[in-house]
Structure 1
């Protein structure tokens, strides 16, 4: 069975925020809403201090903490691991945002645009009033995945079927694919590198993996 997952190579990420910008462009999210963010961290102890850049967002968990707290069933999980939100059912209670350990959910009550009163072309084209006053988050660009699969494309390989953030990464730090397929790009990366998942100890089974060194 297919299980879509994302991999971020922390050795390659340069903190350029191109993934953040491409996500906002692709999804026309309002100001202050970043479904894909990059944390800028300082690690080590003086004088041996380094910076680390960590892409974050919805982890599309195996056991999403946001799902059982939803009083209406608006949050759901697909068989391929993608966690989605039915905006027609969501009542905007934000229980899911409180429950999410990854701070990946947003709620926007007022219409706002990047440069004030007038929307940009992509904001007009992608404006979706059904996303106002409800919970929103990264979808793994599920519309691209489903459309691409219908055309015989392979997510993670063919750009037309791959999340926008992965396509845009200038350092090729992000990868996407089917983690249940041992021959997929993401499975090969995990097989060759040491990795971790954020807050894995909570038992959520995150679908976002971080590489940090080669396996010895």
Structure 2
């Protein structure tokens, strides 16, 4: 009896679950390895959703699922000077990513050259361990490939062409900054030095690489 690729990998995972080995890009001593991260400046975000549309188009994300979601909360202070707050839900590209450690086939991995947490759809058996382990709830099963999927900072699309992630390129107010944590001269590093930023669920020890500049009073829709 012949087994399909997915069946074979599933059987292998059931017989012996092995933890995927993650590479800490920031620990590479030669300085050539990048550790890419992103900042969402909520004080500049206007809730236009250009980032969402660009992500879907460039990465061919089907309807019904999303790699990037922009949350719109408000209006606040509705009786006087109403305003909204905008926040981003997407992969945090954790330095200590639980999705990698629980993956039985090595499909969830950290790219050694960029530090980006990604998924190899060929190795994924759809077990959803990574979805259950992700404390940010940003992973999903792709309805076409049937593999786990999420934001990969456009690693296989825009980044492969030497461009910025689609969401960064599309943002009309420059609310998104993308760069290398290992490069002290990068715009991202400069912002982190001089601006107060926050990260989600730091108490879990995931060390996320999606930073936010929290809004006090944001723009209007």
Gaps (5+ residues) in structure 2? 1-30, 216-221
SS at match of 2:118: strand
In structure 1, which of residues 71, 75, 100 is the aligned counterpart of residue 134 of structure 2? 100
1:50 to partner: Cα distance = 4.4
Query: Which residue of structure 1 aligns with residue 58 of structure 2?
Result: 26
Out of 188, 207, 210, the position equivalent to 1:208 is: 210
1:136 aligns with 2:152: no
Matched, 1:57 2:59: no
Whether the 8 Å CA contact 1:182–1:188 is kept in 2: the answer is: yes
Measure, in 1, the Cα distance between the counterparts of 2:78 and 2:202.
29
Matched, 1:86 2:88: no
CA RMSD, 1 decimal? 2.1
Larger Rg: 2
In structure 2, the residue matched to 1:168 is 170
Q: Is the 8 A contact 1:12 1:173 kept in 2?
A: yes
Answer 1 or 2: which has greater strand percent: 1
Relative to 1, partners in 2 of residues 1:108 and 1:147: Cα closer, same or farther, differing over 3 Å? Answer: closer
- 8 Å Cα contact 1:24/1:34 also seen in 2: yes
Deviation at 1:88, TM superposition (A): 0.9
CA distance in 1, matches of 2:214, 2:151: 23
Map of 1:70 onto structure 2:
103
1:145 aligns with 2:159: yes
Say if 1:61 and 1:81, in contact at 8 Å, map to a contact too: no
**SS in structure 2 at match of 1:201:** helix
Distance 1:147 1:29 in 2: 19
**2:198 corresponds to 1:196:** yes
Q: TM-score, normalised by structure 2?
A: 0.76
TM-score, normalisation: structure 1: 0.77
Aligned length: 181
Q: Residue 196 of structure 1: SS of its match in structure 2?
A: coil
Flag the 1:45–1:203 CA change in 2: closer, same or farther, 3 A: farther
Report SS of the residue matched to 1:181: coil
How has the CA–CA distance of structure 1 residues 44 and 65 changed in structure 2, closer, same or farther, with 3 Å as cutoff? Answer: farther
Unaligned runs of 5+ in 1: 112-131, 149-160
Does structure 2 retain, via aligned residues, the 8 Å contact 1:190–1:211?
A: no
Structure 1 runs of 4+ aligned residues shifted over 4 Å read 43-50
Alignment partner, residue 128 of structure 1: none
